[in-house]
Chain A
Amino acid sequence: MKRINRHYLVRNFHQAKWDEPVIFELSRKGERGVRIPEAEEEVKAVAGDVMAALPTGLQRKTPPVLPEMAQPRVLRHYMRLSQETLGGDVNIEIGQGTCTVKYNPKINDRLASLPEMAALHPEQPVETVQGILQIMHETDLMMREISGMDRFTFQTASGSQAAFAMASLIKAWHRHTGEDQQRDEIITTVFSHPSDAACPAIKGYKIITIFPDEEGYPDYEAFKAAVSERTAGFICANPEDTGIYNKRIKAFTDLVHEKGGLCGYDQANANGLLGITRAREAGFDMCFFNLHKTFGTPHGCGGPGSGALGVTKELESFLPAPLIDFDGENYLLNHDVPNSIGRVRSFHGVAQVVLKAYAWMRSLGAEGLYEVAKVSVLNNNYLFRKLLEIEGIDSPYDPSKQRVEQVRYTLKKLTDDTGVTTGDIQRRMLDFGLHYWTSHHPYYVPEPATLEPTETPSREELDEYIATLAHVVRECYENPELVKTAPHNSVIHQVDESGMDDPKEWAITWRSYLRKTGAS
């Protein structure tokens, strides 16, 4: 038999395409997907005609128009749709910059699906949930060591909710000290996550954003001009989306403290800094991590994830209640948090995600976390060096400086040369089974791309990504139309979004679609 040659790096890819109907089209009258236990005859006899007993006006007159489907039909539909989704389990996750999509160990999912986790009710007596409380408490202890903060809560169910809780804490603190009226400004930086600005704005704060200096660091002179007695707090990421680490961070936090403000550290993505440097040494009063980024828990197509919000001793009494305590023998829910901002989420946060993060950290230990940081930064700088060798790809700011865990690139030259935009390249990369993310808006960096390899990809996978991007760049010069009309090998072709902004055209549900297209 002939030897098969599979020695190329750029993959000949086509994503699964099932051409699957919308679920309502699969409905067949009378089919059932699952049956519900019927009440026993004795129960029925005692209960009487419960439907007739419902107050008039509260009885449902017409049944909901849900699909009627037998079980295999439902299963197959969703299995197919799952195959039409490019999860981290199946692709080389480099392209979703800022998202920190890394390997999510399967063992952790198995553990979290055990009934001793999945079938816990949040109101169970504490003596019956000692296991999960211990896990949450010990995760708190580990987070304290990783950040230098003194206490964590996991009630915040996402990074944005944690950023929001930070803003709530800042407000509560200044109310407590009587300076809330005077302090109505929060300072952030332009390459921090947009929720670092959006969340404090919900709390009524004015937001002042600092732009970078020529070197790409947040402009310290601008910062000095911004900090005043009106400053309630400073919330930023470091490194920012550019991957550049603000070396003078301590000078920033010191200045804020000097003027009486608080400092919050957005460490949603702390991947590159684990065991390297901490929020405390950088002078922050609080920080948060995203467990679904840095701590290896799955993203679930957009949640459930979890935020972990940590604060210094001074702010502990402002945290959302209850806190999880350990009295040396038992784990307790401490509702006695005197200055608490109240609650940000029901119950105790997303406990199963905390469990997965706990298991992830326990597998790695301190040395493993350090390895994670080093390898993710190694991977990133390797990718950075290699991509800059490609004609048309540059980075804003000094390319000789190391980036931390991700890089924001600019493809402006490529666009100027070829007319192909970074958005076109994004769609074309999908034709090779790879993500590619541009940037938050607006594009302060022209034709941006943000790539973040984490510790997960192997060297060969990094090389595949680099070779594929180089291939696409070549296509831009040689056959730009091919890139502009991409994707060609993804699940579907270019979507006509022309109706998406028009109330007469948009269809957010199947029933609206039927109505607006005149089919019903």
Chain B
Amino acid sequence: MKLGLIVNPVAGLGGTVGLKGTDGMAREALALGAVPKSGLRTLEALKMLESLREDLVIYTASGEMGEAVVRELGFACRVLWHSEKERVTDVDKDTTSREDTRQAAKKILEEGVSLLLFAGGDGTARDVYEAVGESLPVAGIPTGVKIHSPVYAVSPEKAGELARRFLRCEITGLKTEEVLDIDEAAYRQGHVETKLYGYLKVPDDARLMQGRKSGSLLSDESAQKAIALRVVDGMVPEMVYVIGPGSTTRQVMAALDLPATLLGVDIVCNRQLVCSDATEKNILAAISGKESRLVITPIGGQGYLFGRGNQQLSAGVIHQTGPENLMVMATLSKIQALQGRPLMVDTGDPALDRELEGYYQVMTGYRESIMYKVITS
């Protein structure tokens, strides 16, 4: 079996020395005395693959981008990409660049591996997404400072276990998760601006082997489709539906057999497309003087309804539509990943945020909903 591996060796460096992320800042971080942990945490993940040792070949990039940990554990290893800058701990040399990640990912994609494991944070996920898109199953080992993208497992061990079970075909389903990243320059200035960059396919671990006393749940993708059918079946004539971005909401467009804008907002009325990839202005124009609904889903691992990756749905848009006209959809696995934390809003308008606080019916299936709390961030 073939597994791809990319380690962003500088991931996480910024966090330990108070830099909010490491994008373009690795040298500063190292200079401040940051100790690279990404490789070590990757090691923890790879240890979970011990039982596959005999059949496994790991395709990776040179040195600290993967080769080093693979060799340390003695797995069969093929290096597909050689970075010119191999050592990060050496402050005098340049650290590996985003381009290295992208190039390595492309090579690994071409090699035809079953799964690509990558270690890093939101920036690394973006790079992987840019290289492979949704054409290769991937799983993230969380080693970075910023982990907003739910493409990451909750721990390196879990990432390793997920990979093992996927390689052994114990998990066969895939789900689509968002790649989010915040603008680090802005973040360091104290502004959070999260953008949705795309989607990656990750193994869907809804099935767990133990404890079967009752029926199981829909796979994530089926659950998304089921919720989308509910929205579509309930559509009211002449009502304007503003469909926000997200892997769940884009199933609404699929159920209508309409093209979905990958990362943007689409507007639908009478089951027809009114506007693709709508800007705030487009939306305001489309809903002006009409009854409308905002169809949204929490974006990213933090559970933001507004203010992360869907800035087009501005305070003005929400005012216009009315907070009572939100249709929130989310799969149970998304809710479960919140571990009891409420959903959040950050519209940039504190008064509106307060108005939006409260309980919402979140659609989780064709007939199933949950009452869930929303707070301001």
**A interface residues, Cβ below 8 angstroms from B:** 98-99, 190, 193-195, 197-198, 201, 204-212, 219, 221-223, 225-226, 415-416, 419, 421-423, 426-427, 437-444, 446, 497-499, 501-502
Interface bits B166-203 vs A (CB < 8 Å: 1, else 0): 00111010000000000000000000000000000000
Contacts of B168 in A (CB 8 A): 498
CA gap between A296 and B357 in the complex, in Å: 47
Q: A444-B336, A498-B169 are in contact. Are A222 and B359 (CB under 8 A)?
A: yes
Contacts of A423 in B (CB 8 A): 208-211
Could you tell me if B339 and A222 are in contact, using CB atoms closer than 8 angstroms?
Answer: no
CA gap between A443 and B209 in the complex, in Å: 13
**Nearest CB to that of B44 among chain A residues?**
A419
User: Which stretch (B129-137, B285-293, B366-374) binds chain A?
Assistant: B366-374
Contacts of B368 in A (CB 8 A): 197, 201, 206-207, 209
Q: B348 near A: Cβ within 8 Å?
A: no
**Nearest CB to that of B207 among chain A residues?**
A501
User: Which stretch (B64-72, B105-113, B213-221, B300-308) binds chain A?
Assistant: B213-221
Could you tell me if B210 and A208 are in contact, using CB atoms closer than 8 angstroms?
Answer: no
CA gap between A235 and B210 in the complex, in Å: 27
Could you tell me if B340 and A497 are in contact, using CB atoms closer than 8 angstroms?
Answer: no
Contacts of B364 in A (CB 8 A): 209
Could you tell me if A439 and B157 are in contact, using CB atoms closer than 8 angstroms?
Answer: no
Contacts of B239 in A (CB 8 A): none
Interface bits B43-54 vs A (CB < 8 Å: 1, else 0): 010011000000
Q: B361 near A: Cβ within 8 Å?
A: yes
**Nearest CB to that of B369 among chain A residues?**
A208
Residue picked from A193, A208, A212, most chain B C-beta under 10 Å? A208
Which residue from A198, A225, A427 sits with its C-beta under 8 Å from B210? A427
Could you tell me if A201 and B211 are in contact, using CB atoms closer than 8 angstroms?
Answer: no
Could you tell me if B369 and A211 are in contact, using CB atoms closer than 8 angstroms?
Answer: no
Could you tell me if A225 and B155 are in contact, using CB atoms closer than 8 angstroms?
Answer: no
B341: min CB distance to chain A, Å:
11
Q: B333 near A: Cβ within 8 Å?
A: yes
Contacts of A444 in B (CB 8 A): 336, 339-340
CA gap between A426 and B372 in the complex, in Å: 31
CA gap between A416 and B172 in the complex, in Å: 25
Contacts of A421 in B (CB 8 A): 161
Which residue from A437, A441, A499 sits with its C-beta under 8 Å from B206? A441
Q: B24 near A: Cβ within 8 Å?
A: no
Q: A194-B215, A442-B333, A501-B172 are in contact. Are A222 and B209 (CB under 8 A)?
A: no
CA gap between A415 and B160 in the complex, in Å: 13
CA gap between A421 and B367 in the complex, in Å: 32
Could you tell me if A443 and B213 are in contact, using CB atoms closer than 8 angstroms?
Answer: no
Contacts of B336 in A (CB 8 A): 442-444
B contact face: mostly helix, strand, loop, or mixed: loop
Could you tell me if B367 and A426 are in contact, using CB atoms closer than 8 angstroms?
Answer: no
Contacts of B207 in A (CB 8 A): 501
Sample (9) of A-B pairs whose CB atoms are under 8 Å apart: A209-B364, A211-B373, A222-B372, A415-B155, A415-B157, A438-B211, A442-B206, A442-B332, A501-B207
Contacts of A443 in B (CB 8 A): 208, 336
Contacts of B216 in A (CB 8 A): 441
CA gap between A423 and B215 in the complex, in Å: 18
A242: min CB distance to chain B, Å:
12
Q: B259 near A: Cβ within 8 Å?
A: no
**Nearest CB to that of A397 among chain B residues?**
B340
**Nearest CB to that of A195 among chain B residues?**
B214
Q: What bracket does the count of chain B residues touching chain A fall in?
A: 35 or more
Contacts of B361 in A (CB 8 A): 208, 226
4 smallest CB-CB distances across A and B, nearest first, come from: A225-B359, A419-B157, A438-B211, A222-B371
Q: A206-B367, A207-B369 are in contact. Are A446 and B172 (CB under 8 A)?
A: no
**Nearest CB to that of A421 among chain B residues?**
B161
Q: B358 near A: Cβ within 8 Å?
A: yes
Q: A206-B368, A207-B368, A442-B336 are in contact. Are A221 and B217 (CB under 8 A)?
A: no
CA gap between A190 and B373 in the complex, in Å: 14
Q: A190-B370, A222-B373 are in contact. Are A439 and B211 (CB under 8 A)?
A: yes
Residue picked from A211, A421, A440, most chain B C-beta under 10 Å? A211
CA gap between A427 and B208 in the complex, in Å: 13
Residue picked from B214, B333, B361, B371, most chain A C-beta under 10 Å? B371
Interface residues of B in 345-371 (CB under 8 A from A): 358-359, 361, 364-365, 367-371
Contacts of B215 in A (CB 8 A): 194, 198
Which residue from B48, B169, B369 sits with its C-beta under 8 Å from A419? B48
Could you tell me if B367 and A207 are in contact, using CB atoms closer than 8 angstroms?
Answer: yes
Contacts of B47 in A (CB 8 A): 419
Could you tell me if A206 and B369 are in contact, using CB atoms closer than 8 angstroms?
Answer: yes
Contacts of A194 in B (CB 8 A): 214-215
**Nearest CB to that of A505 among chain B residues?**
B169
**Nearest CB to that of A494 among chain B residues?**
B209
Could you tell me if B209 and A497 are in contact, using CB atoms closer than 8 angstroms?
Answer: yes
**Nearest CB to that of B47 among chain A residues?**
A419
Contacts of B214 in A (CB 8 A): 193-195, 440-441
CA gap between A210 and B44 in the complex, in Å: 37
B170: min CB distance to chain A, Å:
6
Could you tell me if B170 and A497 are in contact, using CB atoms closer than 8 angstroms?
Answer: yes
Residue picked from B47, B210, B211, B367, most chain A C-beta under 10 Å? B211
A36: min CB distance to chain B, Å:
38
**Nearest CB to that of B210 among chain A residues?**
A423
CA gap between A441 and B212 in the complex, in Å: 9
Q: A98-B213, A225-B359 are in contact. Are A211 and B370 (CB under 8 A)?
A: yes
Could you tell me if B359 and A221 are in contact, using CB atoms closer than 8 angstroms?
Answer: yes
CA gap between A226 and B360 in the complex, in Å: 9
Could you tell me if A426 and B211 are in contact, using CB atoms closer than 8 angstroms?
Answer: yes
CA gap between A204 and B333 in the complex, in Å: 23
Instruction: Contacts A441-B217, A501-B172 known; list 20 others, CB within 8 Å.
Output: A194-B215, A201-B368, A204-B367, A207-B367, A209-B364, A209-B368, A211-B370, A211-B373, A212-B340, A219-B359, A221-B359, A222-B371, A226-B361, A415-B157, A422-B210, A423-B211, A441-B208, A443-B208, A446-B339, A499-B169
Contacts of B340 in A (CB 8 A): 211-212, 444
A484: min CB distance to chain B, Å:
9
B177: min CB distance to chain A, Å:
16
A89: min CB distance to chain B, Å:
20
**Nearest CB to that of B337 among chain A residues?**
A442
B155: min CB distance to chain A, Å:
6
Contacts of B339 in A (CB 8 A): 444, 446
